[in-house]
Structure 1
Amino acid sequence: MNLDLAFAPLIPLAALIALTLAGLAVAALCVFGRTRGAWLRAGAIACLLLALANPSFTREDREPLRSVLPVVVDRSGSQTLDGRKEQTDEVRRQLEVRLQGLPNTDIRWIEAGQDAQASDGTELFSALRDGVADVPPERLAGALFVTDGVVHDAPPDAKALGFSAPIHALITGRPDERDRRVALTLAPRFGIVGQSQRISFRVEETGKGLGRPVPVIVRRDGEEIERLDVNPGEIASVDAPIAHAGVNFVEIEAEDAGNEITTVNNRAVLPIDGVREKLRVLLVSGEPHAGERTWRNLLKADASVDLVHFTILRPPEKQDGTPINELSLIAFPTRELFAQKIDEFDLIIFDRYARQGILPIVYFDNIARYVRNGGAVLVAGGPDYSEPGSLYETPLAQVLPAEPMGGVVESPFRPELSAVGRKHPVTRGLPGSQTNPPSWAPWFRMVDSRLREGDAVMNGPDERPLLVLAREEKGRVALLLSDHAWLWARGFDGGGPHVDLLRRLSHWLMKEPDLEEEALRARAQGKSVTIERQTLKDDASPVQVTLPSGATRTVTLVQAEPGLWRGVLETPELGLHRAEDGAFTTLVNVGPANPRELSEAVSTEARMRGVAEGSGGSVRRVTPTPGALDVPRIVAVSEGARASGADWIGVRAAEASVVRGLGVLPIFSGLLGLLLLVGVFALTWAREGR
């Protein structure tokens, strides 16, 4: 019970202060003027002022509140290593027994760190703040942590805690642990396809018996690219070639040191996004026609394409009297384009081009060789492809997949996807292709031809090949046997998906990975790995997935749409997964590429020492003893007392309380106040009346 004196003035405070000053002045004059009854007058004035101040005694009945002691148990990935999980479970069991005898204290257990690998490390102090967010700081008796010390959000000192109570950390693990890890020091995120990116790393070691040069293997997309020996602690560098657009996985793996607590961190994974420099396209337009600018407009609108466009409007043999000053001043650089710099282009397009004496025959042989070495050619032909002077009458015919039959079909027809075309990524799912016939505008002309090789993904009337795609050794060829695609671009009769079709076609020719007709892909979302198999075949083989630990899982794929098969794996592990179906192999990383949780897995006392000792607490290992763990006793200590000893740790007894009752006793109110005032004034009158 607390007893306090309180005031509740009956008049405004300013008036009370003024009266008090006036009363003090009158009393002083009486006392120093030696007036009869001066002290009684001063007492009467004081009693009157006290009555106006309305003093009262306040009594509070308080009930002490129970203390709250949070115990944070680390369940992160590093706590599963080297028997630490069993140590943690045993420490918790012993704490449950010992904390039962702690007086007037509620124990709050907080399991933390389960998602440490998927996040940015172990965050035990964030879990502590969340777990006691409803507890006033003065009620906290302290905090206990059961952890291996691999904590990534420990504050540097106790000032950041927000409460004043001892912090104690019980460290699991062994003091003689060995570990070897790879740490990246220079990790580029992007690289230019066809070039190399420099990666720097360091091999770090903890424990006895280490320090010798370490064999290291570097792989890209699972393929070994370099072996080297690295001195621990020194920075080493490798140049990794960026082979393709999209993610290139570079792995750097150090040899197992033997008797390590984990080998997961012996390997560092670096995903590098391969980006292409601007794709260089050469567009050669022949005979002028209504759709001449269709290809130009499409390619110029693509920011990733660097277009070089030539139009042959006037062959050399044409003599029509056109003044020289009206002719182009730029000669067609045939030798430079088709002999010297042909390999610099990613794609060459011939749009209604026929031999007009501009290109010597030997240059067409160069173009065929360019295709076989990995280049790409697209021929968008009209009647020119079946007439004398056709490109099929040049050495380029060696790589062209369809032979003209000498005629042109000139009647309305709607282009249709073939059975292969419904599976091929260039034409699969084109808007309007779902109906029969397709809901797009008709074309009116196509070249009659015979398929020699490749796949006809679109057909014309009587299933004549209309769009043919083919591979020629390392290169690719596409043949569009109609010059009426511009009708879709102009919106004739509702138009058609010309942008989707022509863009996919050009990017397939330039080897866009997403448009490969035979491919195995995998992507991760959370711990779900979605595996997709793109194929033109009628079925897809099961996929074998190798987890980071070396365990394997088999995923059966089901058809999601024509040409695309899909399966989902719920993986129990984080890290780099390898998927293969016998024909293709792909990699996918689940979670962070190099989980911070396991990058430094050796148990440590250092990270918790600053905040624990700054709060008056302690950090100690629960070193195994024969048959048990060395878990200290827990006792309650008062504010300011020592909070740890050789075999014990202390928690503070909270001083918080709650008011259960309140009593108020006014002094100058009612009969008591009246009697005091009357009595004082009566004494004053009696003294002066003598």
Structure 2
Amino acid sequence: MLWSVSFDPLIPLAVLIAAGAIALVVVAISALLGLRAWWLRAIALALLLLALAGPAIEREDREPLSSVVALVVDNSQSQDLGERKATAEEVRMALENRLGQLPGFEIRTIRAGRGESAATDGTALFGALSEALADVPPERVGGAIFITDGQVHDVPEKTETLGFDAPVHGLITGRADEMDRRLALGKAPRFGLVGSEQVVTLQLHDRGVDVPQDRARLTVRRNGEVVSEERVVPGQTIDIPVEISSGGDNIFEFEAEPLEGELTDVNNRVVVTVEGIRENLRVLLVSGSPHAGERTWRNLLKSDASVDLVHFTILRPPSKQDGTPINQLSLIAFPTRELFSVKIDEFDLIIFDRYVRRGVLPLLYFDNIARYVKEGGAILIASGPDYADSGSIYRTPLSTVLPAEPTGQLWEEPYKAAISEIGARHPVTRGLPGSEGDPANWSRWFRLVESSIKEGETLMTGPGDRPLLVLNRQEEGRVAVLLSDHVWLWARGYEGGGPHVPLLRRLAHWLMKEPDLEEEALRLSTRGAEVIIERQTVGETVGDIVLTLPNGDTRVLTPTEAEPGLWRASAPAPDLGLYAADDGTHKALVHVGPPNPREFTDVLSTTDKLSGLTEATGGGTMRLRNEDGNLQVPRVVPLSRAKDFAGNGWIGLKSTDASVLKGIDRYQLFSGFLGLAILLGAVSFLWYREGR
């Protein structure tokens, strides 16, 4: 309770001051003239003026407020190492119990350090502290206690930044004898030409007490397969050459062997993703019999800036003699030897468009083309009536790699191309524009070469479910056969046309092994705080997928079909590091977070980062486990005012003087009959005294 006096004048303050001045003059004159009982006149006037001032006594009813103590528990990834997490939980429960028994203290437990997304780099505890105490007046804060390994990355440089004047304490969960090995990324390329070598720079760091400086084995993997091993001296910077083997993402994993007795091996690995870029996709287009759609392939390939096109049209076979003078011919000789013997391996794709054997290419060169395919090349046969007659390209040694054998029959009737059951799941033909209806909303074709399929997959069909588009793999290479020459009707917009650009472009890119068009693939990607798993397959079902987290834990995920042939699953990704997916046949990797995350740059527990701030606030920083590994929870002492709030085995918290006003009682001194009686008594006494 607090007592005080207040005034509420009955007349304006200026009038009251003027009356006081007049009364003072009257009293002074009376005193100078020596009038009897002048001092009684002064008392009476003073009482009158006091009554006009409206004096009152006030009593405030106040309730003391509790001191708010923030108990911040570090929940970052580095706290999962060793026995730190168990130590933190045991200390938290002990402190909550002790603080709960202290009168006048309120506990706020804050778990921080692990963001909703792994994109949050480092351990941020003070930001969480500020948010938790945002609604608490600074004078009510009794202190903050941090239970952490000491690796905090947002420690303020000045105590004023805290926003309160109270002690801060740091309780360190780790031990002083820890050691750790870390592999750090120096520099790495983001892009590289396919077939080129790029250099990744790494450093190996061993830290701790009495760490041996022996050479460590460094294993290099590309897309999960071991490609080389190195020996690295701790503290040494090493350049590792890596080969970009394919277009798209090339994921390189560098792993140093564990250090005996080290705290964790999570930071022994570095993952680098280099996007493989083909400098130029070299395509050889050989056009045979002239036809209405002869320029369809040329226009499509020339529109792609990444394609270097070499195009030959065979208009004049060597045997043709028409008497035209040579100097009037605008033709050049077909460099068959250079193209199909010397430089054949320089091409990523060879296209034969309505090619007919006319003696231009000796049979020996078809042997070279078949070998080229088996060793990793790609060939596309865009056929027409030529594929069914005696001059068919199938009647060459190239037949050993072609999946469709012509029967010799040519179907010439209107039909609409359809996507087969397996084609609906294949990335080349899946979701082609206009394919939703039955039949598809495409223009008709009028020709198809009947063929029997020896092997491969039929993605599109014609009349009577006859094969129209067939794809196949031949050892290391790929082959596609389009059994109609009427795709140009789509390009010309006949009857509304059709999706010739996406179809032919996907077909060419599948042949050139673009990763996004693989029919059997497992992919990992990140979206916000999630890891997205995609399983591409032409099969009807897929099995469960095992996701391995950076800390080694595994989760079994059951994907669901997002669209035909594409299955998806997702999982939270709150942790930094390498995630790996495995379905028993395929493996996929993705690295979440920055290459050198601050969370794992230094995982050894320390008192150094918090000690400057804790000492400046009067608090202290101490380890919770002694040299023998025994846990020691400090005593908690409430203090109202002190210079030091920490000592050997104890920590202090500040008791607040803050209170809340519950009510005010007001008592008027000159109210009612009491005030009237006092004034009348004073005047009567004055009259009586002067009358004597």
Alignment match, 1:494: 496
Alignment match, 1:504: 506
Task: Tell me how far 1:128 sits from its aligned partner.
Answer: 0.9
Tell me the SS of whatever aligns to 2:510.
Answer: helix
Give, in whole Å, the separation in 1 of the partners of 2:451 and 2:401: 15
Equivalent of residue 603 in structure 1, options 605, 612, 636: 605
Provide closer, same or farther for how the CA distance between residues 160 and 262 of structure 1 changes in structure 2, counting only shifts above 3 A.
same
Give, in whole Å, the separation in 2 of the partners of 1:283 and 1:415: 24
Asked whether the 8 Å contact 2:525–2:590 carries over to 1, the reply is: yes
Provide closer, same or farther for how the CA distance between residues 115 and 318 of structure 1 changes in structure 2, counting only shifts above 3 A.
farther
What's the CA shift string for 1:270-315, capped at 9, x where partnerless?
3333333342323333444332333233334445x32425352742
Confirm whether residue 401 of structure 1 aligns to residue 397 of structure 2: no
Give, in whole Å, the separation in 2 of the partners of 1:387 and 1:8: 119
Tell me the SS of whatever aligns to 1:292.
Answer: coil
Task: Tell me how far 1:255 sits from its aligned partner.
Answer: 1.9
Asked whether the 8 Å contact 1:578–1:585 carries over to 2, the reply is: yes
Provide closer, same or farther for how the CA distance between residues 523 and 624 of structure 1 changes in structure 2, counting only shifts above 3 A.
same
Amino acid at match of 2:105: T
Task: Tell me how far 1:547 sits from its aligned partner.
Answer: 5.4
Q: CA RMSD in A?
A: 5.0
Give, in whole Å, the separation in 2 of the partners of 1:283 and 1:126: 63
Task: Tell me how far 1:240 sits from its aligned partner.
Answer: 2.1
Provide closer, same or farther for how the CA distance between residues 280 and 610 of structure 1 changes in structure 2, counting only shifts above 3 A.
farther
Give, in whole Å, the separation in 2 of the partners of 1:552 and 1:532: 18
Tell me the SS of whatever aligns to 2:646.
Answer: coil
What's the CA shift string for 1:214-258, capped at 9, x where partnerless?
222222222222222222222222122222333333222222222
Task: Tell me how far 1:336 sits from its aligned partner.
Answer: 4.8
Equivalent of residue 520 in structure 2, options 518, 521, 527: 518
Provide closer, same or farther for how the CA distance between residues 516 and 625 of structure 1 changes in structure 2, counting only shifts above 3 A.
closer
215-224 or 567-576: which moved more?
567-576
Equivalent of residue 653 in structure 1, options 644, 655, 663: 655
Amino acid at match of 1:530: I
Alignment match, 2:196: 195
Provide closer, same or farther for how the CA distance between residues 390 and 630 of structure 1 changes in structure 2, counting only shifts above 3 A.
same
Asked whether the 8 Å contact 1:77–1:117 carries over to 2, the reply is: no
Asked whether the 8 Å contact 1:527–1:591 carries over to 2, the reply is: no
Confirm whether residue 532 of structure 1 aligns to residue 516 of structure 2: no
Asked whether the 8 Å contact 2:639–2:655 carries over to 1, the reply is: yes
Task: Tell me how far 1:68 sits from its aligned partner.
Answer: 1.3
Asked whether the 8 Å contact 2:198–2:243 carries over to 1, the reply is: yes
Give, in whole Å, the separation in 1 of the partners of 2:629 and 2:453: 81
Provide closer, same or farther for how the CA distance between residues 569 and 415 of structure 1 changes in structure 2, counting only shifts above 3 A.
same
Provide closer, same or farther for how the CA distance between residues 235 and 160 of structure 1 changes in structure 2, counting only shifts above 3 A.
farther
After superposition, where does 1:224-373 map in structure 2 within 5 Å? Answer: 224-303=226-305, 305-310=306-311, 312=313, 314-315=315-316, 317=320, 336-355=338-357, 362-373=364-375
After superposition, where does 1:286-685 map in structure 2 within 5 Å? Answer: 286-303=288-305, 305-310=306-311, 312=313, 314-315=315-316, 317=320, 336-355=338-357, 362-387=364-389, 389-523=391-525, 526=529, 530=533, 532=535, 534-536=537-539, 540=542, 563=565, 575-589=577-591, 596-624=598-626, 629-638=631-640, 641-659=643-661
Asked whether the 8 Å contact 1:117–1:597 carries over to 2, the reply is: no
Amino acid at match of 1:417: I
Amino acid at match of 1:653: S
Amino acid at match of 1:130: E
Asked whether the 8 Å contact 2:624–2:631 carries over to 1, the reply is: yes
Task: Tell me how far 1:59 sits from its aligned partner.
Answer: 9.2
Provide closer, same or farther for how the CA distance between residues 462 and 159 of structure 1 changes in structure 2, counting only shifts above 3 A.
same
Give, in whole Å, the separation in 2 of the partners of 1:104 and 1:543: 54
What's the CA shift string for 1:85-104, capped at 9, x where partnerless?
23222322332243245443
Tell me the SS of whatever aligns to 2:127.
Answer: helix
Asked whether the 8 Å contact 2:121–2:593 carries over to 1, the reply is: no
Alignment match, 1:78: 78
Task: Tell me how far 1:346 sits from its aligned partner.
Answer: 1.5
Give, in whole Å, the separation in 1 of the partners of 2:594 and 2:338: 49
Alignment match, 1:110: 110
103-112 or 450-459: which moved more?
450-459
Give, in whole Å, the separation in 1 of the partners of 2:556 and 2:66: 55
Provide closer, same or farther for how the CA distance between residues 97 and 310 of structure 1 changes in structure 2, counting only shifts above 3 A.
closer
Give, in whole Å, the separation in 1 of the partners of 2:645 and 2:553: 48
List gaps (5 residues or longer) in structure 2.
18-32, 34-52, 670-692
After superposition, where does 1:132-211 map in structure 2 within 5 Å? Answer: 132-210=133-211, 211=213
422-431 or 55-64: which moved more?
55-64
Tell me the SS of whatever aligns to 1:138.
Answer: helix
List gaps (5 residues or longer) in structure 1.
21-35, 37-52, 668-690
Alignment match, 2:678: none
Provide closer, same or farther for how the CA distance between residues 343 and 112 of structure 1 changes in structure 2, counting only shifts above 3 A.
same
Amino acid at match of 1:86: A
Asked whether the 8 Å contact 1:271–1:593 carries over to 2, the reply is: no
What's the CA shift string for 1:177-196, capped at 9, x where partnerless?
12222222224333333223
Asked whether the 8 Å contact 1:178–1:205 carries over to 2, the reply is: yes
Task: Tell me how far 1:71 sits from its aligned partner.
Answer: 1.0
Give, in whole Å, the separation in 2 of the partners of 1:655 and 1:214: 60
Give, in whole Å, the separation in 2 of the partners of 1:369 and 1:475: 9
Give, in whole Å, the separation in 2 of the partners of 1:339 and 1:157: 75
Asked whether the 8 Å contact 1:377–1:478 carries over to 2, the reply is: yes
Give, in whole Å, the separation in 2 of the partners of 1:98 and 1:133: 25
What's the CA shift string for 1:412-447, capped at 9, x where partnerless?
122233444344332234344455443422201122
What's the CA shift string for 1:92-150, capped at 9, x where partnerless?
23322432454433221112235488332322112212211211223212211111112
Give, in whole Å, the separation in 2 of the partners of 1:632 and 1:451: 80
Give, in whole Å, the separation in 1 of the partners of 2:325 and 2:417: 41
Give, in whole Å, the separation in 1 of the partners of 2:161 and 2:330: 76
Task: Tell me how far 1:564 sits from its aligned partner.
Answer: 5.0
Give, in whole Å, the separation in 1 of the partners of 2:661 and 2:57: 16
Give, in whole Å, the separation in 2 of the partners of 1:285 and 1:160: 76
Give, in whole Å, the separation in 2 of the partners of 1:419 and 1:259: 56
Corresponding residue pairs, total: 672
Name the % identity: 52
177-186 or 487-496: which moved more?
487-496
Confirm whether residue 69 of structure 1 aligns to residue 69 of structure 2: yes
Give, in whole Å, the separation in 1 of the partners of 2:558 and 2:56: 84
Provide closer, same or farther for how the CA distance between residues 169 and 641 of structure 1 changes in structure 2, counting only shifts above 3 A.
same
Asked whether the 8 Å contact 1:425–1:517 carries over to 2, the reply is: yes
Asked whether the 8 Å contact 2:354–2:387 carries over to 1, the reply is: yes
Provide closer, same or farther for how the CA distance between residues 614 and 116 of structure 1 changes in structure 2, counting only shifts above 3 A.
farther
Tell me the SS of whatever aligns to 1:260.
Answer: coil
Provide closer, same or farther for how the CA distance between residues 117 and 625 of structure 1 changes in structure 2, counting only shifts above 3 A.
farther
Tell me the SS of whatever aligns to 1:142.
Answer: strand
Asked whether the 8 Å contact 1:639–1:652 carries over to 2, the reply is: yes
Alignment match, 1:678: none
What's the CA shift string for 1:135-176, capped at 9, x where partnerless?
122321221111111222222332332333221111112111
Give, in whole Å, the separation in 1 of the partners of 2:330 and 2:611: 80
